[in-house]
Amino acid sequence: MSIESPRTALSRQPDLEHGPRAVRSFIDGVHRLLAVSPFDRLLSRVNGALPPSIQEHARRVVAQPHSYPVSVTRRARREGLDLELSPHDYFQWHQFYRFGDEVLVTLRAAAAGASAVIDVGANIGFYGLLVARAIAPAGRVYCCEPNPSTAEKLRRHRDENRITNVEIVEAAVGATSGHITLYDHGDGEPGKFSARAPSGGRSVEVRLVTLDALVLERAIGRVQLVKADVEGLEPDVILGAKALIGRDRPMLCLEITPRWLAQRPAETAEAFTFLAAQEYRYFHILPAPAKPGSLRAIDIGPLVDPSTGARIAGGKNVIAVARGGPLPAGLFLVG
């Protein structure tokens, strides 16, 4: 998942202080200096020890993602995983500086004891690999990642950390099977490749599968959780998983970006009408400084209605639970 946007944690992008050009140039220069190792490694360790409320202020102090060249990588240990991170990428920057991650807290709680979890848009594997350690001893996590270079890093992370219950599906997930072109909407950020309209950046053609086909192909048993962060194509994932959702009624962890969903009104309406018929309830995963595990019940209607969604800035990470299903232990309602 992406870290919720704006000012969030399946993208709270830090912004520079507003001010005269000279001030902004000075701040940029300081951030570039702080991006040099060992300064950034020291700040990473210090920030990781701070409470979430203080970390919120530290977001503007540490070197920003744009301070790092695309080619720079950093080795880091995060939540017991050894990772190779590219701080130029916002999500990987977030993990390098050890900011708290409420999406991770939610996913771990939702996956506890599961026999099967599907991670759609697995990126470098941070969520999928950690969820793999939270599920039943014989459970498996299926990590779907279409970007070839990102899938290769995911594979290295899985093997380096000796996690044996993760299967990697190098494909995009959608409403149909075949092939699809993904476009770079994020200056090389692996989590910003999307099938939305061409961006002027590079593109890559990848295999496209549905979750219903994947479940049949790999003989996957009961799925307890599906996480989908696919840059506005979440409705397509749902439409390609109708049989799976009808069979298992899994919890769904979704990134909801209203302005992107408004660009696909037909698919969005069909997907959320289907979920309404399945009696799903929606909860916002509250970002810091809220206590990790905090949820607030929300009305999904305005977020997925094109007439209102197009005017809503940013997005929300939500967990959807079929009616009758309890909230996972460790998560709690506020407000």
Q: What mean pLDDT, rounded, does the chain reach?
A: 91
Tokens read off for 109: 């709680």
Q: How far apart are CA 100 and CA 33, in angstroms?
A: 24
Asked whether residue 107 carries a pLDDT value surpassing 90, the answer given is yes
Residue 12: pLDDT band with limits 50, 70, 90: very low
238 φ/ψ sector (left φ>0, alpha ψ -120 to 50, else beta): alpha
pLDDT digits (tens, 9 = 90+) for 213-224: 999 999 999 999
Asked whether residue 17 carries a pLDDT value surpassing 60, the answer given is no
* Residue of 224, 220, 278, 212 whose CA lies nearest to 250: 224
pLDDT digits (tens, 9 = 90+) for 271-292: 999 999 999 999 999 998 899 9
Please count the other Cβ atoms lying within 10 Å of the Cβ belonging to residue 23: 12
Q: Which residue has the higher pLDDT, 98 or 23?
A: 98
Q: Name the DSSP letter for residue 4.
A: P
Q: Which residue has the higher pLDDT, 5 or 299?
A: 299
Confidence at residue 10, expressed as pLDDT on a 0 to 100 scale:
46
Q: How far apart are CA 64 and CA 79, in angstroms?
A: 22
CB-based contact 165:140 (threshold 8 Å): yes
DSSP characters for 242-304?
HHHHHHH--EEEEEE-HHHHTTSHHHHHHHHHHHHHTTEEEEEEPPTTSPTTEEEEE--HHHH
pLDDT digits (tens, 9 = 90+) for 40-77: 999 999 999 998 889 988 988 999 999 999 999 999 99
Asked whether residue 14 carries a pLDDT value surpassing 70, the answer given is no
Confidence at residue 296, expressed as pLDDT on a 0 to 100 scale:
98
Asked whether residue 259 carries a pLDDT value surpassing 50, the answer given is yes
**Mean of pLDDT values over 247-259:** 97
Q: SS3 of 332, please?
A: strand
One-letter amino acid for residue 60 of the chain: R
Residue owning tokens 């399946």 = 10
pLDDT digits (tens, 9 = 90+) for 137-182: 899 999 999 999 999 999 999 999 999 999 999 999 999 999 988 8
pLDDT digits (tens, 9 = 90+) for 114-135: 999 999 999 999 999 999 999 9
Tokens read off for 249: 């009624």
Asked whether residue 326 carries a pLDDT value surpassing 50, the answer given is yes
Q: Which CATH superfamily is domain 102-333 in?
A: Vaccinia Virus protein VP39 (3.40.50.150)
CB-based contact 182:203 (threshold 8 Å): yes
Residue 188: pLDDT band with limits 50, 70, 90: low
Indicate the domain borders of the chain: 21-96, 102-333
CB-based contact 238:275 (threshold 8 Å): yes
Residue 210: pLDDT band with limits 50, 70, 90: very high
Confidence at residue 52, expressed as pLDDT on a 0 to 100 scale:
83
32: Cβ contacts below 8 Å, ≥ 6 apart? 63, 67
